[in-house]
Structure 1
Amino acid sequence: MRFDKLATFVKVHEEEYNPAIGGMESNKEEDELYCSYRSLGIKEQNELFGKVDVNAASLVIKGQGKDYDYIILGENKHRVLAVQRFRNKTGYLIGEV
Protein backbone atom coordinates (compact mmCIF):
# COMPACT_ATOMS: atom_id res chain seq x y z
CA MET A 1 0.00 0.00 0.00
CA ARG A 2 1.54 3.29 -1.10
CA PHE A 3 0.86 6.41 0.92
CA ASP A 4 1.69 8.82 -1.90
CA LYS A 5 -1.32 11.15 -2.20
CA LEU A 6 -1.36 14.35 -0.15
CA ALA A 7 -4.84 15.21 1.10
CA THR A 8 -6.22 17.96 3.32
CA PHE A 9 -8.58 16.68 6.01
CA VAL A 10 -10.91 19.39 7.33
CA LYS A 11 -13.01 19.52 10.51
CA VAL A 12 -15.33 22.55 10.79
CA HIS A 13 -16.12 23.77 14.30
CA GLU A 14 -19.01 25.99 15.39
CA GLU A 15 -18.82 29.72 14.78
CA GLU A 16 -17.56 31.82 17.67
CA TYR A 17 -17.63 35.52 18.35
CA ASN A 18 -14.28 37.23 17.72
CA PRO A 19 -14.03 40.62 19.46
CA ALA A 20 -11.01 41.62 17.35
CA ILE A 21 -13.09 41.68 14.15
CA GLY A 22 -16.42 42.38 15.86
CA GLY A 23 -18.27 39.47 14.34
CA MET A 24 -18.72 35.74 14.05
CA GLU A 25 -15.87 33.60 12.79
CA SER A 26 -15.84 29.93 11.80
CA ASN A 27 -12.96 27.81 12.96
CA LYS A 28 -11.55 25.07 10.76
CA GLU A 29 -9.02 22.47 11.75
CA GLU A 30 -6.98 21.30 8.76
CA ASP A 31 -4.54 18.39 8.68
CA GLU A 32 -2.43 17.58 5.64
CA LEU A 33 -1.73 13.86 5.57
CA TYR A 34 -0.35 11.39 3.08
CA CYS A 35 -2.82 8.66 2.22
CA SER A 36 -3.37 5.67 0.00
CA TYR A 37 -6.08 6.42 -2.61
CA ARG A 38 -8.19 3.87 -4.50
CA SER A 39 -11.32 4.56 -6.52
CA LEU A 40 -14.14 2.07 -6.08
CA GLY A 41 -15.25 -0.02 -9.02
CA ILE A 42 -18.78 -0.24 -10.38
CA LYS A 43 -19.51 -3.51 -8.56
CA GLU A 44 -18.37 -2.12 -5.19
CA GLN A 45 -20.39 1.08 -5.66
CA ASN A 46 -23.52 -0.93 -6.48
CA GLU A 47 -23.05 -3.08 -3.38
CA LEU A 48 -22.48 -0.11 -1.06
CA PHE A 49 -24.83 2.51 -2.47
CA GLY A 50 -27.20 0.72 -4.86
CA LYS A 51 -26.16 3.09 -7.65
CA VAL A 52 -23.04 4.14 -9.56
CA ASP A 53 -23.28 7.94 -9.71
CA VAL A 54 -21.67 8.49 -6.29
CA ASN A 55 -18.08 8.61 -7.64
CA ALA A 56 -16.79 7.06 -4.41
CA ALA A 57 -13.22 6.30 -3.40
CA SER A 58 -11.34 4.80 -0.51
CA LEU A 59 -8.59 6.57 1.48
CA VAL A 60 -6.35 4.98 4.08
CA ILE A 61 -4.04 6.92 6.41
CA LYS A 62 -1.47 5.66 8.88
CA GLY A 63 -2.37 5.95 12.54
CA GLN A 64 -5.64 6.75 14.26
CA GLY A 65 -7.54 9.38 12.28
CA LYS A 66 -10.11 11.82 13.58
CA ASP A 67 -13.67 12.45 12.46
CA TYR A 68 -13.50 14.94 9.59
CA ASP A 69 -16.29 16.78 7.77
CA TYR A 70 -14.71 16.79 4.33
CA ILE A 71 -11.47 16.00 2.51
CA ILE A 72 -9.78 18.00 -0.25
CA LEU A 73 -7.90 15.74 -2.64
CA GLY A 74 -6.17 17.61 -5.44
CA GLU A 75 -8.67 20.31 -6.36
CA ASN A 76 -11.77 18.25 -5.62
CA LYS A 77 -13.78 18.39 -2.41
CA HIS A 78 -15.08 15.06 -1.05
CA ARG A 79 -17.49 14.37 1.78
CA VAL A 80 -16.79 11.58 4.26
CA LEU A 81 -19.33 8.77 3.86
CA ALA A 82 -17.90 6.27 6.36
CA VAL A 83 -14.93 5.80 8.67
CA GLN A 84 -13.38 2.52 9.76
CA ARG A 85 -10.60 2.34 12.34
CA PHE A 86 -8.03 -0.43 12.50
CA ARG A 87 -5.11 -0.94 14.87
CA ASN A 88 -2.47 0.99 12.87
CA LYS A 89 -4.51 2.80 10.23
CA THR A 90 -7.83 4.49 9.49
CA GLY A 91 -9.95 4.04 6.36
CA TYR A 92 -12.29 6.64 4.91
CA LEU A 93 -14.97 6.06 2.30
CA ILE A 94 -15.43 9.35 0.44
CA GLY A 95 -17.73 10.70 -2.27
CA GLU A 96 -17.37 13.78 -4.45
CA VAL A 97 -19.43 16.82 -3.53
Structure 2
Amino acid sequence: MAKTASKTESKGASTQDAAQDNPKTDPKDVSNQIKDPSEWTTGGEPMTGAQASYLKTLSEEAKEPEAFDADLGKAEASQRIDDLRHKAGRA
Protein backbone atom coordinates (compact mmCIF):
# COMPACT_ATOMS: atom_id res chain seq x y z
CA MET A 1 0.00 0.00 0.00
CA ALA A 2 2.86 2.37 0.74
CA LYS A 3 4.05 2.16 -2.87
CA THR A 4 0.62 3.07 -4.20
CA ALA A 5 0.34 6.05 -1.88
CA SER A 6 3.77 7.34 -2.83
CA LYS A 7 2.95 6.99 -6.55
CA THR A 8 -0.24 8.96 -6.03
CA GLU A 9 1.58 11.59 -4.04
CA SER A 10 4.33 11.74 -6.61
CA LYS A 11 1.86 12.04 -9.47
CA GLY A 12 -0.04 14.78 -7.63
CA ALA A 13 3.16 16.69 -7.03
CA SER A 14 4.20 16.49 -10.66
CA THR A 15 0.75 17.66 -11.75
CA GLN A 16 1.04 20.65 -9.44
CA ASP A 17 4.53 21.42 -10.73
CA ALA A 18 3.31 21.20 -14.32
CA ALA A 19 0.44 23.58 -13.54
CA GLN A 20 2.84 26.07 -12.02
CA ASP A 21 5.09 25.91 -15.08
CA ASN A 22 2.20 26.16 -17.54
CA PRO A 23 2.16 29.67 -19.06
CA LYS A 24 -1.58 29.37 -19.71
CA THR A 25 -2.19 29.32 -15.96
CA ASP A 26 0.26 32.11 -15.13
CA PRO A 27 -1.80 35.22 -14.26
CA LYS A 28 1.10 37.43 -15.37
CA ASP A 29 1.08 35.93 -18.87
CA VAL A 30 -1.31 38.01 -20.97
CA SER A 31 -0.50 36.32 -24.29
CA ASN A 32 -3.66 34.19 -24.09
CA GLN A 33 -6.06 37.03 -23.40
CA ILE A 34 -8.79 37.82 -25.88
CA LYS A 35 -7.46 40.51 -28.17
CA ASP A 36 -9.39 43.05 -30.15
CA PRO A 37 -9.56 41.85 -33.77
CA SER A 38 -7.81 45.03 -34.89
CA GLU A 39 -4.74 43.80 -32.96
CA TRP A 40 -4.65 40.32 -34.54
CA THR A 41 -1.45 39.61 -36.43
CA THR A 42 -3.43 37.37 -38.81
CA GLY A 43 -6.44 39.68 -39.04
CA GLY A 44 -5.79 40.57 -42.67
CA GLU A 45 -5.76 36.96 -43.82
CA PRO A 46 -8.91 35.66 -45.53
CA MET A 47 -11.64 34.61 -43.12
CA THR A 48 -11.85 30.94 -42.28
CA GLY A 49 -14.47 28.60 -43.67
CA ALA A 50 -16.13 28.45 -40.26
CA GLN A 51 -16.31 32.26 -40.11
CA ALA A 52 -17.78 32.42 -43.61
CA SER A 53 -20.44 29.86 -42.80
CA TYR A 54 -21.41 31.51 -39.51
CA LEU A 55 -21.39 34.99 -41.04
CA LYS A 56 -23.66 33.80 -43.86
CA THR A 57 -26.09 32.24 -41.38
CA LEU A 58 -26.13 35.32 -39.14
CA SER A 59 -26.59 37.73 -42.05
CA GLU A 60 -29.65 35.76 -43.12
CA GLU A 61 -31.06 35.60 -39.56
CA ALA A 62 -30.50 39.32 -39.05
CA LYS A 63 -32.15 39.98 -42.44
CA GLU A 64 -28.99 41.73 -43.63
CA PRO A 65 -27.73 39.59 -46.54
CA GLU A 66 -25.48 42.46 -47.66
CA ALA A 67 -23.45 41.97 -44.45
CA PHE A 68 -21.95 38.84 -45.95
CA ASP A 69 -18.89 39.52 -48.08
CA ALA A 70 -16.76 36.56 -49.12
CA ASP A 71 -13.68 38.80 -49.40
CA LEU A 72 -13.50 39.82 -45.73
CA GLY A 73 -10.40 39.20 -43.66
CA LYS A 74 -10.45 37.31 -40.37
CA ALA A 75 -10.58 40.41 -38.18
CA GLU A 76 -13.32 42.18 -40.13
CA ALA A 77 -15.36 38.96 -40.33
CA SER A 78 -15.05 38.57 -36.55
CA GLN A 79 -16.29 42.12 -35.99
CA ARG A 80 -19.25 41.60 -38.34
CA ILE A 81 -20.08 38.33 -36.63
CA ASP A 82 -20.16 40.09 -33.26
CA ASP A 83 -22.41 42.84 -34.62
CA LEU A 84 -24.77 40.40 -36.33
CA ARG A 85 -24.97 38.16 -33.28
CA HIS A 86 -26.49 41.08 -31.40
CA LYS A 87 -28.87 41.91 -34.24
CA ALA A 88 -29.92 38.28 -34.67
CA GLY A 89 -30.53 37.94 -30.92
CA ARG A 90 -27.72 35.47 -30.29
CA ALA A 91 -25.64 37.62 -27.98
TM-score interval w.r.t. the shorter chain? under 0.3
Scaled by the length of structure 2, the TM-score of the pair is 0.24
User: Higher helix proportion, which one?
Assistant: 2
Larger Rg: 2
User: Higher strand proportion, which one?
Assistant: 1
